[in-house]
A = this chain, B = another copy of it.
Amino acid sequence: MVKQGDSAGTSGSSATLQFSVDRGSPVPLYFQLAQQLEAAIEQGKLAPGSLLGNEIELAGRLGLSRPTVRQAIQSLVDKGLLVRRRGVGTQVVHSQVKRPLELSSLYDDLEAAGQQPATRVLHYAVEPATATVAAALGVPEGSDVLFVERLRLAHGEPMAHLRNHLPSGLLTLGSAELERTGLYRLLRGAGITLHSARQTVGARAATAEEAAQLAEPQGAPLLTMERTTFDDTGRAIEFGSHVYRASRYAFEFQLLVRP
Residue of B nearest to A205 (CB): B221
Contacting residues, chain B, for A249 (C-beta < 8 A): 202
Q: Which A228-254 residues have C-beta < 8 A from chain B?
A: 230, 232-236, 246-247, 249-254
Contacting residues, chain B, for A48 (C-beta < 8 A): 234
Q: Which A83-111 residues have C-beta < 8 A from chain B?
A: 83, 91, 93-97, 100-103
Report A28 CB to chain B, min CB distance, Å. Answer: 13
A93 contact from B221, B232, B250, Cβ within 8 A: B232
A204 contact from B197, B236, B246, B258, Cβ within 8 A: B246
In the bound assembly, the distance between CA atoms of A204 and B216 in angstroms comes to 13
Task: Categorize the interface residue count of chain A.
Answer: 35 or more
Contact (Cβ within 8 A) A103 B255: yes
CB 8 Å contact bits of A49-85 with B (1 = contact, 0 = none): 1000000000000000000000000000010100100
> Is the CB of A16 closer than 8 A to any CB of chain B?
no
Contact (Cβ within 8 A) B196 A254: yes
Contacting residues, chain B, for A253 (C-beta < 8 A): 198-199
In the bound assembly, the distance between CA atoms of A235 and B83 in angstroms comes to 13
Contact (Cβ within 8 A) B234 A196: no
CB 8 Å contact bits of A158-201 with B (1 = contact, 0 = none): 00000000000000000000000000000000000111111111
Contact (Cβ within 8 A) A196 B97: yes
In the bound assembly, the distance between CA atoms of A194 and B80 in angstroms comes to 12
Contact (Cβ within 8 A) A198 B246: no
Contacting residues, chain B, for A247 (C-beta < 8 A): 204
> Is the CB of A41 closer than 8 A to any CB of chain B?
no
